[in-house]
Amino acid sequence: MSSQNIFILGIESSCDDTAASVIHNGKILSNVIASQKIHEEFGGVVPELASRAHQQNIVPVVNQAIKKANITKEQLSAIAFTRGPGLMGSLLVGTSFAKSLAMGLNIPLIDVNHMQAHILAHFIDEEGFNKPPFPFLAMTISGGHTQIVKVSSYFDMEVLGETIDDAVGEAYDKSGKILGLGYPAGPEIDRLAQLGNPKAYSFTKPKVGGLNFSFSGLKTAILYFIQREVKVNPNFIKENINDICASIQFTIIGILIDKLKLASKQTGINHIAIGGGVSANSGIRHALKTGETKFDWITYVPKFEFTTDNAAMIAIVGYLKYLENDFSKQDVTASARLKI
């Protein structure tokens, strides 16, 4: 396998990050990301602004990825791009760019499912990071996704459960908004949570059957709780911010771990991998480690730069598909609601 000399350019533009990466066989040579700061002032991603920013960023980002990899465009074996799911206007920028570049260079085009890519990021060759054996369970947790997937082989994946409303990252970000924190609030809630008492306040966990998730009720419960307390003490948030964040984090992590326990019990699989921006969370990392001793889990957390939206994960899927000669036609279209 490694005797071949395969260079894949991966392009990611599904949400608010314009990213490009070059992979040589299984090893990442470059991983460039232009994050769009513009959305911070709106407290969330604005689709029209995202697609405009992608148009401005895509050429410099791709050029930089190729330059950093120390290769020329002509050495590329194929172009992989995110076909979906994501914001249509954002996906279209990456899709049309990838198509024209592949056509211009006369090399194959490979479409990639963003959710599969979050999972297959675990197969990037990286010192100090083990690759999970099949079958394993993958939990993707970010601002856009919350899923538990049974992964039987690279491209044999089954979604066992997913959110029926908000994603877990959204639960963090919306809670942060209620508390007057900046966007995205996840990292700040995580930081403050570590200074507070997780049992200070309790929020009821949603009752959703099976392996599905729901986070919108929790957001409402937090909103009502804060409104009630602020009526009594206008300084309630300021005076108790650490305890509030710790209690929110305790509840959210509890929900995630309960579902993982159930998934592991139902499938008999104890290899558990996570991905997506929320896997940076100290609470989930700690809970997974505890699961190793408590439930005999073997857990996998990828390198941070491969957990948030990035193009290295698109490039690794491109590489795996290349090895299987699984190429796309030029008439492939972006798909906002693409399923695993």
Binding site for ligand KG4 (CB under 6 A): 15, 142-144, 169, 172-173, 184-187, 190, 276-278, 280-281, 308-309
Do residues 73 and 112 lie in contact, with contact meaning Cβ atoms separated by under 8 Å? no
Q: How many CA atoms lie within 13 A of 235 on its CB side?
A: 1
**Structural contact between residues 327 and 78, judged by C-beta atoms closer than 8 angstroms:** yes
Would you count residue 170 as binding Zn ion (CB under 5 A)? Answer: no
282 belongs to an annotated ligand binding site: no
CB 14 to ligand KG4: min, Å: 8
Q: What gap in Å lies between CA 58 and CA 146, rounded to an integer? A: 27
Residue 302 interface partner, choices Zn ion, ligand KG4, none, CB cut-off 5-8 Å depending on type = none
Nearest partner of 184 among 216, 143, 221, judged by Cα: 143
Tell me the two tokens of residue 137.
């369970």
**In this complex, which beta carbon is closest to Zn ion, that of residue 9 or of residue 117?**
117
Q: Tokens 């290349």 belong to which residue?
A: 322
User: What's CA 39's distance to the chain center, in Å?
Assistant: 18
Is the CB of 159 or the CB of 237 nearer to Zn ion? 159
Q: Per the structure block, which two tokens stand in for 217?
A: 């009720």
Contact between 90 and 328 under an 8 Å Cβ cutoff? The reply is no
Site string for Zn ion, 293-322 (x = CB under 5 A): ----------------x-------------
CB of 203 to ligand KG4, least distance (A): 16
Q: Is 114 annotated as a binding residue?
A: yes
Least Å distance, CB 91 to Zn ion, is 12
Residue showing the smallest CB distance to ligand KG4 in the complex? 277
Q: How far apart are CA 136 and CA 153, in angstroms?
A: 9
The CB-of-243 to Zn ion minimum distance in angstroms stands at: 31
Annotated binding site for Fe cation: 114, 118, 309
Residues in contact with Zn ion by the rule CB under 5 A: 142, 309
